[in-house]
Amino acid sequence: MTGFLEYVPGNSLLHRMNPVAKLFCALLISVACFCTSNLIFLACVLIFDFALAAHCKMTRQAMGLAKAVTIFSLILAVIQLLTNSTGMVLVPLPWGYIGTGGVIGAVTIILRLVAAAVPLFLVMYVTKMTDLANSVVKVLHVPYKYAFTFTSTVHFIPVFMNDMAGIMEAQTARGVQFDQGSIVKKIRLMVPLCIPLLVSSVRKTNSAAIAAEVRGFNLRTRESGYKQYPFATLDVVSLVICVCILVVAILLGVLL
C-alpha cells in the first residue's frame, strides 16, 4: 500500500515517459478542461483519465482523488446552484430559483475539477520525485534549488500527514474527543495541534536543509546530474495528442 503522492513502481506507458513530457501532457489536459464547458468533452477527458489510471494500475488512487476533489468541488457546485438562476425553473428560491442552467453549471464544475486534477496527480504517482526534479533542471534549465524546493514540499506532505495522525493519536490518548461534537468544536480541538505540527515541521525542514548543505547542496548545478532525459517518440506522440485535446477544447469553447 502506498501513501499520498508516493511513487508507485510500474512499467506502464506513463511510467516510461519522460518526466517533463508527462508534466506538460498533464498540464495541457488540465488547461483543456478549463477552456470549455462542454459536458461531453469533459466526460470524455474523465474517461480518458481513468483509462490511464487503470493502465497504470492506479484506479484506487484515482478514485480516492476523484472523491476528494468531488467533495471540495461540491462547495462550488452548491454556490453555482444557488446563484446561477438560468434555464427552466426547478426549485423557486426567495432570491431567484434553481434552474437547469444552475444544475448544468454545478455538474460542469465537478466534472471539470476532477478531470483536471486526476492527470496532475497521476503524474506525481508515476514519477520519482528525484527524476522530476532532475529532468526539469536538465531539460527546462530550472535552477536546482527551486526544483528541490518543489520536490521537498511534495515529499513532506505524507510525512506531515503522518505527524498529524500521530499528534491526534497522542491527544486522543489524553482524552480529547475528536470524534464527537459539532464541526466548530472539532475545529477548536484541532487548532492547538497546529503548534506541535508546526514545531516538528520547522525542526524537520531545518534538519533537512542542514543535511543538504553539509553535503554540498549549493555546489549542485545543471551539469551535476549524470542521468539524461531525452525525448522519445512516445513523448512526442503524447504531447501531440494532448495539444490536439487542447485545440479541440478551445474550438469547442469558441464555437459553442
Question: Is 130 one of the binding residues for other proteins (CB under 8 A)?
Answer: no
Please list, in sequence order, all residues whose beta carbon lies within 8 angstroms of the beta carbon of residue 110, skipping any fewer than 6 positions away. 70, 73, 74, 77
How many chain residues are in contact with other proteins, going by CB under 8 A? Answer: 20
Cβ atoms of residues 123 and 23 within 8 Å: yes
Question: Is 61 one of the binding residues for other proteins (CB under 8 A)?
Answer: no
Sole binder of other proteins in the list 10, 101, 196, 225 (CB under 8 A): 196
Single-letter amino acid, residue 16: R
Question: Is 175 one of the binding residues for other proteins (CB under 8 A)?
Answer: yes
CB of 50 to other proteins, least distance (A): 24
Question: Is 167 one of the binding residues for other proteins (CB under 8 A)?
Answer: yes
Neighbours of 108 (CB within 10 A): 18
Sole binder of other proteins in the list 89, 140, 199, 237 (CB under 8 A): 199
Where would I find the beta strands (DSSP E) of 10-107?
A: 89-93, 96-99
Sole binder of other proteins in the list 3, 64, 166, 181 (CB under 8 A): 166
Relative orientation angle of helices 100-126 and 59-83, to the nearest 10 degrees: 150
Question: Is 70 one of the binding residues for other proteins (CB under 8 A)?
Answer: no
What's 1's DSSP letter?
Answer: -
Nearer to other proteins, 92 or 166 (CB): 166
Question: Is 169 one of the binding residues for other proteins (CB under 8 A)?
Answer: yes
Burial readout 193-205 (b: 16 or more C-beta within 10 A, e: otherwise): beeebeebeeeee
Binding mask 203-232 for other proteins (x = CB under 8 A): x-----------------------------
H/E run at residue 241: helix 233-255
Question: Is 200 one of the binding residues for other proteins (CB under 8 A)?
Answer: yes
Sole binder of other proteins in the list 2, 83, 153, 177 (CB under 8 A): 177
Please list, in sequence order, all residues whose beta carbon lies within 8 angstroms of the beta carbon of residue 35, skipping any fewer than 6 positions away. 246, 249, 250, 252, 253
Sole binder of other proteins in the list 176, 241, 250, 251 (CB under 8 A): 176
Would you give the end-to-end CA distance of the chain in angstroms? 44
Sole binder of other proteins in the list 8, 193, 212, 248 (CB under 8 A): 193
Residues at the site binding other proteins, with contacts judged by CB under 8 A:
1, 163, 166-167, 169-177, 192-193, 195-196, 199-200, 203
